Structure 1
Amino acid sequence: MDTRLADFIRDTPAGQEAEAILRTCVHCGFCTATCPTYQLLGDELDGPRGRIYLIKQVLEGQPVTEKTRSHLDRCLTCRSCETTCPSGVKYGHLLDIGRQVVEEKLPRPLSEALPRLLLREVLPRPAIFGPAIQLGRMLRPLLPNVLADKLPPTQPAAGPWPAKGRQQRRMLVLAGCVQPTLAPNINAATARVLDRLGIELFEEAKAGCCGAVRFHLNDQERARDDMRRNIDAWWPHVEAGIEAIVTTASGCGVQLRDYGHALADDPVYAEKAAKISALTRDPSEVVAAERESLLPLFRKNTADLGKLAFHSPCTLQHGLKIRGVIEELLQAAGFELTPVADGHLCCGSAGTYSVLQAKLSLQLKSNKLGALTAGGPAQIATANIGCLTHLQAGSTIPVRHWIELMDEVIA
């Protein structure tokens, strides 16, 4: 794709990156076949190729309009198009650049800016988010459905963590920002599973939100501050020789894997950020690597496990490029996996998308739940807290994190 970027961005790191990405696009249109919003809306500008043209126009200095912003806002950042693209276009990075420029050149009206401000300030802070959830339960009848449906009726309990100091192998785990309140048992279950495999898992209290919430709400500088804080918190453990940094939410995993890219121009943190990215692991990668030790731990009687549908989050299959690994582990544990049509398509959660683009999100969720329940499963499993809470709000059957199921079937 031929480009003539405007002076305001041409010689900046973001401009140079955007130009390199734009030049890899060959207009083939394969991406539209797997884009969830294009499938729903049928508008070229609501598909990756159309959005690439819009970003190109903005970076070439053409006026930024409400229409441009609307089409970019409707993108889920699911990165399904990256999986499909034969040219290797790094669409996600280009979208981040384009959205940031649009945000700077076209300030939002208060009705749009305020919800984004609240999401940026509340979600990344567990000390605020936790009490907000408790208050939300009390005021549930007064809340909009899009918010009320996401609230668990009671505070979930976390199971016990294994005793510390028993294992020679040690790994960090990201606590996250919303997961400790919404599903605290996920990290505890991961710790129990890895303990049975000879690995101690521990959290670092000084770490916090991975930065994804702010980054994808176009507050990228403060998101980089979140990243730097985490790097500072984890670095003593990295120097002490931890094996990995585990992220039980695949959405956070994608963000951590991107630290090296996001901080590549930071002279102080670039090298450390690249190391953090290299150490980041999804729990499925850790567990699969210990398969020989894992298999003897599964209980012998699995007749009561029943059918299970697995929803592969976009951040897992398109972001982390992990496909089929969790499904194989669940089958080895004794679950009967049901087929899921269009498994590559997004469920509509996409971080804060389900709040800010509620209508499209609900359509995608309805389609996804139809595909997940078609085989008559007793449960649905997934690998990301956002997908879990989003799907559970509309599901008549339980939605669980796959590592919790793994924990339960270990003898």
Structure 2
Amino acid sequence: MNNKKGVMRLAIFLTLVMVIAATKLAGDLSVRIGQPSVLGKLLAGIVLGPAVLNWIEPSALIHDFSEIGVVLLMFIAGLETDLDQLRKNWKASFAVAIGGIVLPFIGGYGVAQAMGLANAQSIFIGLLLCATSVSISVQTLKEMNQLHSSEGTTILGAAVVDDVIVVLLLAVMMSLLGGESDVSLSMVFLKKAIFFVVIVLAGWFAIPYVMKRLSTIHVTEAVMSIALVFCFLFAYFAERMGVAAIIGAFAAGISISQTSFKHEVEHKVEPIAYTLFVPVFFVSIGLNISFAGLGSQLLFLLLITLTAIASKWIGGGLGARLTGFGNRASLSIGAGMISRGEVALIIATTGLEASLLPEQYFTSIVLVVILTTLVTPPLLKLMFRSDSEATAKDA
């Protein structure tokens, strides 16, 4: 037994060595060739995983560390969000979210119908393409110093709106088509309402009061500890209320950003996140790739990937354009909404269990999620660079 535990410890240590070293080296190489470092980190996961070298396989450790990584990533995004800018761009965020839901739904449903899937399955795939996860976009925007821009805050706001609407639509669909008669739609909507009321009240009153009172207790890193408690508490509460944990973490970050402890927390949480947990998150995405049995799925994979990218880009961009953004800025915002990330993976797993997603298409859908995640960083960099060049010419 002791020998088995020793082997497991060695495997954990070696996995962390490979993850940290590979993501940092791949990130540096990516920057050297003019791409965001996050692209190299994502590709490192593919190379280390079952698709290429098979040195690292998906495991409970990788999953748990990656969950912490994405929560911390969105917590940092909340800390760095300009709340005034977010309020200013709320109409644009809502329009971007709606555009990024309507077009992907139509596109996904149409492709699924063309491939001969049943109506319920086609509706589900359309809904799955509506999902957005801006974890990767957040990291890319941060690298380009665009997280505070009007485009960056619009993307963050739109992601929150998108997540809430998609979760509600999923609940409705599971109730009507998934065979879950015990799903109470009124309870689903009530839980979402309770979540936002509690989060707003806690963020407005409880967090500033508690952090101020407990910041002077005689323990090491009191402020940082309290901040992480709120981060994970909000994430836990979000999950319990049927909202993604990343939304709770993002709300906690915004709340703390309104206190005098913002810079201290931000300065100290980044080493924790970017040294260990966020690299594991990036690698975990690549570990889901497998090319086994894809021969008969190539047409579906090609069509659904192109639809996923184009519909979100155009839909989100159209929403931004209708609310006053210029053409290039609108395309930049649309590009930031393309990545489906862990939100779509969760929806895909839910659909598989409810027989709304055919098992033979599951691998293709996972690949679509990963491909949309891989294409987002270089596309964002291209769009923002074009936007900057256009601004410089106008000046």
Is TM (by shorter chain) over 0.5? no
Q: Which has the higher helix share?
A: 2
* TM-score of the superposed pair, with normalisation by structure 2: 0.32
TM-score normalized by the length of structure 1: 0.31
Select the structure that is richer in strand.
1
Q: Which has the higher contact order (CA 8 A, sep 6+)?
A: 2
